[in-house]
Structure 1
């Protein structure tokens, strides 16, 4: 019985998140009607309040789902790289390029900060930060980069990537901004390399 109840809760939450994700991506957060959203999910407005506390809580859940998918995609990029350095650069470039995707751009980079505040304080950023710190530590251990402080460097890198993504999302020409951001980031990141590695 308990299992069935937990399955029903998970199904209800999933339906609401799916409906909200479609509505937020199509209409934007402000113009998404909770009545239409719950009707599309075949549920009541009361169900939304019960599971998420309201529209803002639902946005948080949608962003958490998108962020988890982004992290999974970036993990694949890292695993396909031929070296730790290549994985670090490829992951960073992939992260920047994700700012061009309409759903990520609208929900995570435009509506998210407007409704939920500073993205660097979101729980999902902790996972990104830890991943970046691990990459920095591996590069130090492999003697690829200068022996910098991994936490400070990880925060600087994530700040640069997040700032670039927000700039791209708001830019008049997002594709041009993305190209500029990638080129500049690679140049900046290459400054971490030890001289002998830079020459290779």
Structure 2
């Protein structure tokens, strides 16, 4: 690849990254509906045409922000997995990290308020399918090792993914006085305790 092509690719990636960062902040602080494409382009220092070139429209940009958040959350879970030699404990810890990660103030509105309104069921699919294969594979291993009860790893993976998404959604809608985050963590621990074989 020529230096010119590399330079253009690097510039395009820098523009994409800048737009995603600006859009993430704007969607988190102001909400999808309140932010215009002109405002986003101005804040990112690009033309509206450049924004359309990279993301087609505002919904396309929003989906890209959602996918980037999903990738960031997945990366944040890795240290929990690596922190303990007990993989079942690491697996459990990953879901607690996930819960805290998606409930961060700069993510909560995007994931649980605007995403369903902007993308409909597609947003649920994006979040639920992310890492599903790894979750199922891990559960197959834990079942084979006699660490986890359950004859069907695929069904169990759907159950675990559905549970974490549902409890995160519930916690995101709560008021601070309700302390839903800690209650969600307690419920998640109870679910995993119920799956653990002695």
Give the TM-score normalised by structure 1: 0.89
Contact 2:20 2:61 in 1 (8 A): yes
Partners of 1:21 and 1:100 lie apart in 2 by 15
Partners of 2:106 and 2:92 lie apart in 1 by 24
CA RMSD, Structure 1 to Structure 2 (Å): 1.7
Partners of 1:179 and 1:72 lie apart in 2 by 23
Alignment of 1:32-181 (within 5 A): 32-118=35-121, 119-122=123-126, 124-173=127-176, 176-181=179-184
Unaligned runs of 5+ in 1: none
Give the TM-score normalised by structure 2: 0.90
Partners of 1:168 and 1:162 lie apart in 2 by 10
| CA 1:4–1:174: 2 relative to 1, 3 Å | farther
Tell me the CA shift for residue 149 of structure 1: 1.1
Tell me the CA shift for residue 127 of structure 1: 2.8
Contact 2:167 2:184 in 1 (8 A): yes
Contact 1:81 1:90 in 2 (8 A): no
Greater alpha carbon shift after TM alignment, 180-189 vs 168-177 = 168-177
Alignment partner of 1:191: what SS?
A: helix
Tell me the CA shift for residue 100 of structure 1: 2.9
4+ aligned runs moved over 6 Å, structure 1: none
Contact 2:31 2:114 in 1 (8 A): yes
Unaligned runs of 5+ in 2: none
